[in-house]
Chain A
């Protein structure tokens, strides 16, 4: 521990703390711009300068380590005048005129810093030098004229996301924020996660869709979880006048550290499919609007007219747990219809549940990915899916994390690591055998196995050579590896992991796949045509096979938010609320329940899957139970290690 004095008050901080840490622990504050608690301190803006007795010059508190006996002053005439001078210099360097910036009043750290110093103007005439504006990206705009060169975006892109697209060229006041080797952002290696925009303290990087749509303080903020994939990232949904404006990562998020990917941040806001506004029925080959009562009665008539085995029911994993539970109870438990499936092809949740039932809980939480000394990634592309989990590995790859990647196609997750071994193929049984052989070296003929998989022996030795000695080995498995037919290899892998003390993390695909598996849904099932086909698509998509099964069915009921090939061929279409118009729980890969809060009111005429199920159940004289939470919690405990 280190003892020092801040503004006359003694304070004790951990070794390695900065002066800024000590100032804040002591209950004082200095303004900062380039500093961000989630990034490595950089010390470029100089706004946090403080007086340290005995030091010749003012010290940047965000980068200078606290030392024993230091006497620090934050609010002297010297620090105050230096702060005003620094702010004047920053304001005058580029176009920092607030009145025509979209990032105003509470949104801009630079403006806030000026207000905090009670600056009413800046005394230095601006340079009026124009800088490049890059508007080539579909989701956000880079305006170098608004840049204060703090490099928070660059550091977020590199330190947190592990993408390293952003960087600077030129020096001093001519420095320019660029993508890659100075290519337009829209043509760069940018993965459109938008985290740079969220970390930008000014209007240099700004969201296209929410620009000039209102100040931060004009927007309604709703804390929610992302329900696109099974990571369950925490996010803040921002609306105005019942309209979705922007989505940001929750700064207080645990697992996702305020980060989001494209699918969590931009995809929902970029949605442009055409909404369905009224229940419809097919008459004389044409869909015609009808009332909800008529539509639901028509469905009840069909249910009664058919034997339950002639009905097949399918639901999207984008639906909340409440709906999945009710849907399964209604169709599988009460009616015991012919087929009840969860849409999608990811079997991870079901296979790992099956394996856990056999050998006990074995999964570790996703946070194991954040700090590991070696990673084995089997059958998943963490750059395309479960992207935020991929960020955690990519950023460690930059520090030459040992990585063994096996996937049917190349994945970029390990591209930054020089300690990477990659197998492109699908013989996962042989891959697991190889890992076993590396763990038990003396017993196996490694060279034959390596040759068989086409792997370089030297590189393999470097990455997998001391598998047992790795202290923090994490094994990530995803949908290619976890197919039902790979269960023996999966079992063998998990037993090996237990033996060598490795953590196993499973990535469970889209939305509520995990919850679906717990409720006993058929997963990756080939949906079959049936006399009555009930498709609860919601705001999701479904594959061509499901479309063909629907096409071959006699009476087609489609519950959907948007017009699609599915609604086009339906006999009855029920307009459905979308993700931000309904509240509901989502179960992430770790078994953590997250609430997707309702953020806007649906237009009249839309009803949620759950609400429709309740009406259909009451028409059949049933009351749906609401006990899903106990079921979920009990089952999760048998699969995920606490």
Chain B
């Protein structure tokens, strides 16, 4: 039996969920016996195989047009999509921006900050993605497994991935369901 292929990517998050993934320590070796770990933001291969993977993992919320593209690409290329962490599941910390709105948040960050001088300006390079209303991943694409937490514990991540690797749908409950 071939090992299921797993790919991950991150959107508007802090990378903390991927750090929590690494926090499973030596169990990563155990995990690599079960799965074929393909692209991740913290390894050399950055994009999921065009031929598709079995499990796709997304950390972070949808905060700009680039996040939307990455989420759509992952959804197209994976069979089961995991929303990893509070930002992917709920919108998380980036979603705080929705209360004042993106324009007010950018103005505060790039123009009004105490350390900014008169030359402050909001970046407007055409190659930059455009901020959007921050949403959870499930508002843009269908999500199959929700693993909330800020960050989800290494135990919870290991549990979810090892269940998926063995062809079972994980039940995120009890100590593994922790919204922080």
Q: Mark A96-112, 1 if CB is under 8 A from B, else 0.
A: 01111000110000010
Within 8 A of B (CB), among A288-320: none
Is the CB of B136 closer than 8 A to any CB of chain A?
A: yes
Q: How far is the CB of A111 from the nearest CB of chain B, in Å?
A: 6
User: Is B177 touching A99 in the complex (CB atoms < 8 A)?
Assistant: no
Is the CB of B68 closer than 8 A to any CB of chain A?
A: no
User: Is A130 touching B100 in the complex (CB atoms < 8 A)?
Assistant: yes
Is the CB of B90 closer than 8 A to any CB of chain A?
A: yes
- Which of B83, B89, B139, B180 is within 8 Å of A125, CB to CB? B139
What is the size, in residues, of chain A's interface with B at 8 Å between Cβ atoms?
21
Is the CB of B18 closer than 8 A to any CB of chain A?
A: no
User: Is A120 touching B89 in the complex (CB atoms < 8 A)?
Assistant: yes
Is the CB of B31 closer than 8 A to any CB of chain A?
A: no
- Which of B89, B100, B179 is within 8 Å of A114, CB to CB? B179
**How many A-B Cβ pairs are below 8 Å?**
61
User: Is B99 touching A128 in the complex (CB atoms < 8 A)?
Assistant: yes
Q: Mark B28-55, 1 if CB is under 8 A from A, else 0.
A: 0000000000000000000000000000
User: Is B146 touching A99 in the complex (CB atoms < 8 A)?
Assistant: no
Is the CB of B91 closer than 8 A to any CB of chain A?
A: yes
Among A99, A105, A119, A128, the most chain B Cβ lie within 10 Å of the Cβ of A99
Is the CB of A118 closer than 8 A to any CB of chain B?
A: yes
Q: Mark B123-166, 1 if CB is under 8 A from A, else 0.
A: 00000000001011011000000111010000000000000000
- The dominant DSSP class at the A interface is loop
Is the CB of A171 closer than 8 A to any CB of chain B?
A: no
Is the CB of B95 closer than 8 A to any CB of chain A?
A: yes
- B88, closest chain A residue (CB): A121
Is the CB of B80 closer than 8 A to any CB of chain A?
A: no
User: Is B173 touching A97 in the complex (CB atoms < 8 A)?
Assistant: no
- Which of B83, B139, B179 is within 8 Å of A99, CB to CB? B179
Q: How far is the CB of B136 from the nearest CB of chain A, in Å?
A: 7
- B136, closest chain A residue (CB): A121
User: Is A115 touching B177 in the complex (CB atoms < 8 A)?
Assistant: yes
Is the CB of A122 closer than 8 A to any CB of chain B?
A: yes
Alpha-carbon distance A125/B178, docked complex (angstroms): 20
Q: How far is the CB of A118 from the nearest CB of chain B, in Å?
A: 4
Is the CB of B122 closer than 8 A to any CB of chain A?
A: no
Is the CB of B172 closer than 8 A to any CB of chain A?
A: yes
User: Is B139 touching A100 in the complex (CB atoms < 8 A)?
Assistant: no
| Cβ contacts under 8 Å, B91 to chain A | 97, 126
Q: Mark A337-368, 1 if CB is under 8 A from B, else 0.
A: 00000000000000000000000000000000
Known: A97-B95, A99-B92, A100-B93. A120 touches B148 (CB 8 A): yes
Is the CB of B64 closer than 8 A to any CB of chain A?
A: no
A sample of 5 more A-B contacts (CB under 8 A), given A95-B99, A99-B90, A100-B96, is A99-B93, A120-B146, A121-B136, A121-B148, A125-B135
- 10 tightest A-B CB contacts, nearest first: A120-B146, A98-B179, A128-B98, A99-B150, A121-B146, A118-B173, A130-B99, A99-B86, A121-B89, A120-B172
Using a CB–CB distance below 8 Å, which chain A residues touch chain B? 95, 97-100, 104-105, 111, 114-115, 118-123, 125-126, 128, 130, 145
Q: List 21 A-B contacts (CB under 8 A).
A: A95-B99, A97-B90, A99-B90, A99-B92, A99-B93, A99-B180, A100-B93, A105-B178, A111-B179, A114-B179, A118-B173, A118-B177, A119-B177, A120-B89, A120-B172, A121-B83, A121-B136, A125-B139, A126-B91, A128-B99, A130-B99
